[in-house]
Amino acid sequence: MSTSRPGGVSDTNSLAAVDDTSAAVVVRKAYKEYRSKSLFRRAAGNMVIRGLDMTVRRGTIYGLLGASGCGKTTLIRSIVGRDQLTSGVIRTLGGTPGAPGSGVPGPAVGYMPQELSLYSGFSIGETFRYFGWLTGVQNEELAERTSGLLEFLDLPPSHCMVGELSGGQQRRVSFAVALLHRPPLLILDEPTVGVDSVLRQRLWDHLLDISADGRTAVIITTHYIEEARQAHTLGLMRQGVLLAEDAPDRILERHRCGSIEQVFLKLSRAQAGATTHREADVTAPAVPAAGRVGDQRSE
């Protein structure tokens, strides 16, 4: 594992904070390295998460904003227990994700993965029935929530087959499935890709509504700065670390910038400077375009 630790959140480093009960998710000193499966490239590792700290409070929306390839999905998959860190600590709803009895993954978490994981041979109604059965939502409660979600998300009638829906409609079904059982932790990996601006705002309004109960935490990843700005806490992610983590207004104030794009640019340059100085194994930064952060895969 590389020993380079380019940046991170300095004021939340204490490992004692992992047992903070007001937090739905705590990540401390997280590192994740992918090892190549190729026989010819076995020595080459890819350090995707590099000493990352993150805290998600109950009753808040956490917007995880970063360029394509910065490690958002890898982090999310570790939080829901679908992937394991190389080192570091994660507490999701007080337990270790993936550990027996932790309940994660499980019904306590509503997870919308980036890749679609629906059954194309099911109708929309059967999909809701199946996931409702897995999470304990049945009968009148299921019928009521199904019709509410179909209407809210502008979906076709429940007899329509999932395999015959458009990609955007399938993403909305996947979003509905994550919401169906009203879990205390909702993790949405790029739910607004391919969603029109009216529905996108409706979706954000809904997330703000459900987190207002003071109990439900939402983590949402996105490339879009203007929508992430609505989150209570914003994590600005780049090359496997959080460059900043705070309320959007406090981030602007602290860095004396007029926009999140400017903060991103400023902190990206500082991170690149620090990295070059340490001659670490990361390359030059991408400059974020206005309104959307750039692609890091090709860096």
Ligand X SMILES: Nc1ncnc2c1ncn2[C@@H]1O[C@H](COP(=O)(O)OP(=O)(O)OP(=O)(O)O)[C@@H](O)[C@H]1O
The DSSP bridge pattern shows strands 61-66 and 87-92 to be unpaired
Binder among 9, 26, 27, 48 for ligand X (CB under 6 A): 48
Binder among 2, 33, 34, 130 for ligand X (CB under 6 A): 34
Interface pattern 100-139 for ligand X (x via CB under 6 A): --------------x-------------------------
Residue 263 contacts ligand X per CB under 6 A: no
Cβ distance to ligand X smaller for residue 114 or 230: 114
Strand partners, 295: 68
Long-range contacts of 274-278 (CB under 8 A, 24+ apart): 274/6, 274/7, 275/4, 275/6, 275/239, 278/4, 278/6
Contact residues for 204 (Cβ-Cβ < 8 A; gap 6+): 227, 230
Q: How far is the CB of 177 from ligand X (least distance, A)?
A: 20
Binder among 66, 132, 285, 288 for ligand X (CB under 6 A): 66
Site residues (CB under 6 A) for ligand X, limited to 227-246: none
Rounded to whole angstroms, how far apart are CA atoms 123 and 159? 5
Residue 7 contacts ligand X per CB under 6 A: no
Cβ distance to ligand X smaller for residue 87 or 138: 87
Cβ distance to ligand X smaller for residue 216 or 239: 239
Binder among 55, 60, 74, 174 for ligand X (CB under 6 A): 74
Residue 69 contacts ligand X per CB under 6 A: yes
Cβ distance to ligand X smaller for residue 182 or 292: 292
Q: Are residues 6 and 239 in contact, defined by beta-carbon separation less than 8 angstroms?
A: yes
Rounded to whole angstroms, how far apart are CA atoms 217 and 184? 6
Cβ distance to ligand X smaller for residue 57 or 72: 72
State the helix-helix crossing angle for 248-255 and 260-277, rounded to 10 degrees: 60
Residue 294 contacts ligand X per CB under 6 A: no
Q: How far is the CB of 74 from ligand X (least distance, A)?
A: 3
The DSSP bridge pattern shows strands 233-238 and 241-246 to be antiparallel
User: With the CA atoms of 157, 168, 197 and 207 taken in that order, what torsion angle do they form, in degrees rounded to the nearest 10?
Assistant: 70
Three-class DSSP labels, 107-167 = CCEEEECCCCCCCCCCEHHHHHHHHHHHHCCCHHHHHHHHHHHHHHCCCCCCCCEHHHCCH
Return the range that interacts with ligand X (CB under 6 A); candidates 20-28, 65-73, 142-150, 244-252. 65-73
Binder among 57, 58, 72, 238 for ligand X (CB under 6 A): 72
Residues at the interface with ligand X (CB under 6 A): 34, 46, 48, 66, 68-74, 114, 297
